[in-house]
Structure 1
Amino acid sequence: MKRTIIKIDEDLCDGCGICVEGCHEGALQLIDGKAVMVSDLYCDGLGACIPDCPQGAISLEEREAEPYNEEAVMERVVPKGEKVILAHLTHLRNHGELGFMQQGIDYLKKHNIRVDLSSLQKAVPQQAQQAPQAQQPYVFQPASVMPPQFPVQLHLINPMNPVFSGAHLLLAADCSAFVTPDFHQRFLKDKVLAIACPKLDRNLDTYVAKLIALIDTSGIETLTVVQMVVPCCSGLMKLVSMAREKAKRYIPVKKIVLNLQGGVQTEEWIQ
């Protein structure tokens, strides 16, 4: 499958080994004085190693690669001790890969490996003292319905994230949430989210490949497309149609078209 994974420029790499030490998943090794990714299985594609490289030799690319395997990673991480285990799980948490983090925790429980996981619980900041109304007229109110995963951009999501398994997927045009004040409550309830723009985004073949993986491998149950009435948005439904034609499984697809005021212009199930 196509997914995001790291790429190392051998000409820029000076073999310092900083990235190898920082990759708790064990995807990188020094071979003949150069950093080398030894297996796609161990690379989560989140790019935590990129800022570690003083030469700028590491970048991200979309290419065919084996799916990331958290159990295989844990087999390599556990012998390195508790600090490395916690660093790895914290890394997943901080990048929103909560499904993979839970798989890692389940691995520890399955193999009766005792690790203090209390640090994984994010501290909730104490509420700041209320400022005078004249100084702070706006009070943030979080949405009552939030996507269960991050990132949400279709280029960046990992179809193998367990959060997508058996889920109902909402694929929304980038603009749609900005013209619909109650977007979260109206469309996102009980769904996972991906967003895309068929006009401005590049490498649309990657979108089709990811949608196929979501259908066939993750087994999403339904796919709802929310797009704007403008012509450029029609490409979003074309991508879904291409993926559904190539996928081995059949899933119901609903198409919702919004007008420029954020109201629903049409809503229909696509056969």
Structure 2
Amino acid sequence: MPSGQRTPPKTHGKAVQRTQKKRKIIRIDEKKCNGCGFCMPNCPEGALRIIDGKARLISDIFCDGLGACIGHCPQGAIRIVERDAEPYNERKVMANIIKQGKNVIKAHLEHLREHGETGYLNSALAFLKEKKIKNPLEEKEGHEKETGKGAIKAAKDCPSGDHSQFSQIRICPGSAEMDLRDKSRSSNQSNAGLKDEMSNRQVKSGHYAQKQESMLRQWPVQLSLVSPNASFFNDAHLLVSADCVPFANPNFHSELLKGRSLVIGCPKLDDVEHYVGKLTEIIRNNRIKSITVAIMEVPCCYGLYSAVEQAVGNSGKKVPFEQKIVSVSGSMDGS
């Protein structure tokens, strides 16, 4: 055997077990990261550290791939990808978390609960029970719970941003169930004194005088289904929309879709790397005049803008693109 070459380990006729598997995990773009550290407090699992002036993922086993840190990166340097990685290990994460105190334990448990990760949550609770540590989710919250201050704090601390309008909701608006019909009820009640309100509106503005027409210019619309060489992409203004946007924004057709070709997708549930590749082909193979990226305000949605940004860069073309953010109550960019 040549000098310096290591002897391969003996396997006794058995294949070496492969511990890695393909799963969702964060990736940090070192060129974009400026080492601000805003992501670290929002990773209760302790997967991130600032090393040599850059945020680093210290171990695959500490990253659950849910992306709570993404919405706190002002540089857009963090995204979720799918790659071979060591399996996430909830017990090792909990061993790290309990050293950081009750508040960090609670933040981690709430994080798992909000994303419906019942398997990880049960594993974490079992670990706490073994270590004879009280479950902070079961503790009474006293005055804060009674006055709603705790709820306001939970909304403000949410990775999606300041959601004071959701002050009575104790979990992230990205995962919470919300009934927004109260908004319509109050609007109708406040106009209860007007006779035949709908007719009045029709006469005054003509807004409801006729059915709104669909502005959809093509089919299919799913990014995973469209052909990069489809004729409707050439010489087009392109709208890249998150799946939830048309349901949240009542004026989607008139404000966003009109005059644009459309592709839709969900960066949380789908393969973002595939999105980057498909969008790169669309931009490279066609004359795209502009790109509008419409996303929801929740943190998991920002991966779609990142995918477009990468695709434009990969295409080698200069295409102007902008971002439109839609709130869960339907308003767009503060409008």
Structure number with greater Rg is 2
> When the two structures are superposed, what TM-score results if normalisation uses the length of structure 1?
0.45
> When the two structures are superposed, what TM-score results if normalisation uses the length of structure 2?
0.37
